[in-house]
Chains A and B, each alone.
Chain A
Amino acid sequence: MPRLLLPLLTLTIAALAAMVLSVSYGSVPVPVADILAVLQGQGSELQRTLIMDLRLPRTLSAFATGGLLAVAGALMQVLLRNPLADPYVLGLSGGAAVGALTMMLLGLGGLFISSAAFAGALLATLLVFGLAHGMGSWTPSRLLLTGVVVAAGWGALITLMLALAPAQRLPGMLYWLMGDLSYARTPAPALLVLLLTCLLVIPLGRSLNVLARGPMQAAALGVSVQPLEWTVYVMASLLTAVAVTTAGSIGFVGLVVPHMLRLVLGNDQRLILPACALAGGTLLVLADTLARTLIAPEQLPVGVITALLGVPTFLYLLSRSR
């Protein structure tokens, strides 16, 4: 058990450090002493607004979103037994994007955008599930092919919407597609879902370990494969839907964080899944801090930073692993 606990402890410390960093840095400097005062309910009104209304909710949203995406990515990779799988491979972000962009085209904001994104994500999930399930056998490769084709369809719709959109709405739509935490409203739902996921996923870890070796072996070892695969699919879809609803379709976290952790920690799902929640959250918190401050007052979309941070780290780990 200490073998499992030590990495998780390290990652927890890293996550807390990242969150402290994120709350301490912004485009307006606030001294550490004042931040502590604000957290104790003191400090000036402006500082309270900066820390409690702007930075803290955004930091928590970033952590929750990153964690959800990384766990969803890890689950998809196990389910599809494909290293290229990420939370968006089955077209879920495409469905969410069509929902969100429709609301933007109609000039509606805030709650409309996030509800439409959530509805779109669920629709995409049901569509892929129904089509892959429709006739004959339900296999991961069938699911993958259906998902990829449906995703291409969503992609075409998105391009069509961008082409028809009035010029002044384009930047907002592109930012949403690149993923951006300034859309984040309240962090509570995403954090809650992340916490529940971690509690649900840990007892599944053993069966997932067996499933990762292939459905035949899993069945031979007494795992009821199909119900497990459905559970994993529904779960990964819900996590992704919540993440996309919070902050648009942030790329890269869901693909690369699980791989990074496997390179370092080995492929034990009992460890990888909670580790993904922590490491994904940490990466996104750091990336968002940079996105807010790097060229302030101009703001970068966080998706750019996750890729710029993640690509060299991942390549380094990959080259070291052999």
Chain B
Amino acid sequence: MRPMLLVLVVMLVPAMAQASQRCAVDDTGREVCLAAPAQRIATLSPGATELTWAAGAGEQVVAIVAYSDYPPQAQQATSVGSHTRIDLERLMSLAPDLVVAWVTGNPAEQVETLRSLGLPVFSIEPREFEDVASVIERLAYLAGTEVPGNAEANRFRTGMAALADEYAHRDPVRVFYQVWNEPLMTINDQHLIGKVVTLCGGDNVFGELPRLVPRIDREVVIAANPEAILAGGMGEENRHWLTYWQQFPGLLATRQDNLFFIPPSLIQRPTPRMLEGTRLFCEKLDRARARR
């Protein structure tokens, strides 16, 4: 009995030592390990801030960047510049024990500097709905907030799956989604918003274009003659990008009055708020179906 116990203890000791270490693989494939759950988190993009709050680790965020406006209480953390140029001095002075960076948004050389100074950097870039849920779970694990984090990740995952079940197989609606006004920009099927279009049973008229966010001409929109036009705008309630299309009564979308506004913050950031944005999107497309 006694040797057995000894063997058990010998096996458990290293396991217990490792149990306090938390490791997660980031979206660039790097493994980030923390000796203890992160207590001072720096988030280097508005999306990273939002996802960290969603992971239940909002109280641990000590550094944010400009435009980190959701949730509103996130703005109480200290700003360390903008996501395109980070004030490294101020960031270091806040002594973060985890940095959440944005793969394509943050300057690579500044992120490299942070790594060379010995900070654990977790880089994120959600490209699928599942990535949003998985980033939340991984951040929650690193911050030791698995209970609220996993719950939020599951709420998002099941919510999106439910919307897909409900809408994906309905009659297709030909959709033009306008990201920006001047220059006129849309998204293809690979973009996360393009995936929202598909999930809601829409057919993106520019889905086949090779570039993720193509800049297009107004003529091709009119030629494509979408059944519905959905747009954000500058600000959360500005509809005037849509009123532009009203001068073309020949457009099917204009004739059927299918010019819909979607608040950009609900759909243009890869965060759990996308669930709400997607629900809105699906409802608008359904309204277009009802007007046939």
Q: Output the residue of A53, A182, A297 with the most chain B CB within 10 A.
A: A297
A110 touches B108 (CB 8 A): yes
Q: Is A136 an interface residue (CB 8 A)?
A: no
Q: Is A166 an interface residue (CB 8 A)?
A: yes
Q: Give the residues from 203 to 220 in chain B that come closer than 8 angstroms, CB to CB, to chain A.
A: 211-213, 215
A296 touches B87 (CB 8 A): yes
Q: Which of B85, B108, B117 contacts A298 (CB 8 A)?
A: B85
* Given A49-B92, A109-B112, A166-B212: A175 in contact with B104 (beta carbons within 8 A): no
Q: Which of A108, A110, A167, A175 contacts B85 (CB 8 A)?
A: A175
Number of A-B contacts defined by CB within 8 Å: 85
State the Cβ distance, B67 to closest chain A Cβ, in Å.
12
Q: Which of A46, A163, A292, A296 contacts B92 (CB 8 A)?
A: A46
Cα(A53)–Cα(B112), bound, Å = 13
State the Cβ distance, B103 to closest chain A Cβ, in Å.
8
Residue of A nearest to B116 (CB): A53
B93 touches A50 (CB 8 A): yes
Chain B residues closer than 8 Å to A26, beta-carbon distance: 89
B87 touches A109 (CB 8 A): no
Chain A residues closer than 8 Å to B213, beta-carbon distance: 166-167
Chain B residues closer than 8 Å to A164, beta-carbon distance: 211
B104 touches A183 (CB 8 A): no
Cα(A50)–Cα(B90), bound, Å = 9
Interface string of A144-182 (1 = CB under 8 A from B): 000000000000000000011011110110010000101
Chain B residues closer than 8 Å to A169, beta-carbon distance: 104
B104 touches A166 (CB 8 A): yes
Q: Is A299 an interface residue (CB 8 A)?
A: yes
Q: Is B80 an interface residue (CB 8 A)?
A: yes
B109 touches A182 (CB 8 A): yes
Q: Which of B66, B111, B117, B215 contacts A163 (CB 8 A)?
A: B215
Q: Is B258 an interface residue (CB 8 A)?
A: no
Q: Which of B79, B95, B105, B117 contacts A53 (CB 8 A)?
A: B117
What's the interface size class on A, roughly?
A: 20 to 34
B110 touches A182 (CB 8 A): yes
Chain A residues closer than 8 Å to B212, beta-carbon distance: 166
Q: Which of B85, B117, B211 contacts A182 (CB 8 A)?
A: B85
Chain B residues closer than 8 Å to A180, beta-carbon distance: 85
Cα(A168)–Cα(B80), bound, Å = 19
Q: Is A224 an interface residue (CB 8 A)?
A: no
A interface: dominant SS: helix
Q: Which of A54, A113, A172 contacts B89 (CB 8 A)?
A: A54
* Given A167-B213, A168-B104: A297 in contact with B112 (beta carbons within 8 A): no
A27 touches B109 (CB 8 A): no
Chain A residues closer than 8 Å to B108, beta-carbon distance: 107-110, 113, 172
B117 touches A299 (CB 8 A): no
Interface string of B57-69 (1 = CB under 8 A from A): 0000000001000
* Given A49-B117, A53-B117, A107-B104: A297 in contact with B109 (beta carbons within 8 A): no
Cα(A281)–Cα(B109), bound, Å = 23
Chain A residues closer than 8 Å to B224, beta-carbon distance: none
Chain B residues closer than 8 Å to A107, beta-carbon distance: 103-104, 108
State the Cβ distance, A118 to closest chain B Cβ, in Å.
15
Q: Give the residues from 164 to 209 in chain A that come closer than 8 angstroms, CB to CB, to chain B.
A: 164, 166-169, 171-172, 175, 180, 182-183, 185
Chain A residues closer than 8 Å to B89, beta-carbon distance: 26-28, 50, 54-55, 292
* Given A169-B104, A298-B66, A298-B81: A183 in contact with B109 (beta carbons within 8 A): yes
A297 touches B104 (CB 8 A): no
Q: Is B20 an interface residue (CB 8 A)?
A: no
Chain B residues closer than 8 Å to A171, beta-carbon distance: 84-85
Cα(A180)–Cα(B103), bound, Å = 20
Q: Output the residue of B66, B81, B93, B211 with the most chain A CB within 10 A.
A: B93
Cα(A168)–Cα(B104), bound, Å = 7
B93 touches A54 (CB 8 A): no
Q: Which of A50, A175, A296 contacts B84 (CB 8 A)?
A: A175
Q: Is B82 an interface residue (CB 8 A)?
A: yes
Cα(A222)–Cα(B117), bound, Å = 56
Residues of A within 8 A of B (CB): 26-28, 46, 49-50, 53-55, 107-110, 113, 163-164, 166-169, 171-172, 175, 180, 182-183, 185, 292, 296-299
Sorted nearest first, the 8 A-B pairs with minimum C-beta distance are A109-B108, A171-B84, A297-B87, A299-B85, A28-B93, A297-B81, A28-B89, A26-B89
Residues of B within 8 A of A (CB): 66, 78-82, 84-90, 92-93, 95, 103-105, 107-113, 117, 185, 211-213, 215
Could you list 30 A-B pairs, sorted by A, with CB under 8 Å? A27-B87, A28-B89, A28-B93, A46-B93, A46-B95, A50-B93, A109-B107, A109-B111, A110-B108, A110-B109, A113-B108, A113-B109, A166-B104, A166-B211, A166-B213, A168-B104, A169-B104, A172-B107, A175-B85, A180-B85, A182-B88, A182-B110, A183-B107, A183-B109, A292-B89, A297-B79, A297-B87, A298-B81, A298-B85, A299-B81
Q: A172-B108, A182-B110 are in contact. List 10 more A-B contacts (CB 8 A).
A: A26-B89, A46-B92, A46-B93, A46-B95, A49-B92, A54-B89, A107-B103, A168-B105, A185-B109, A292-B87
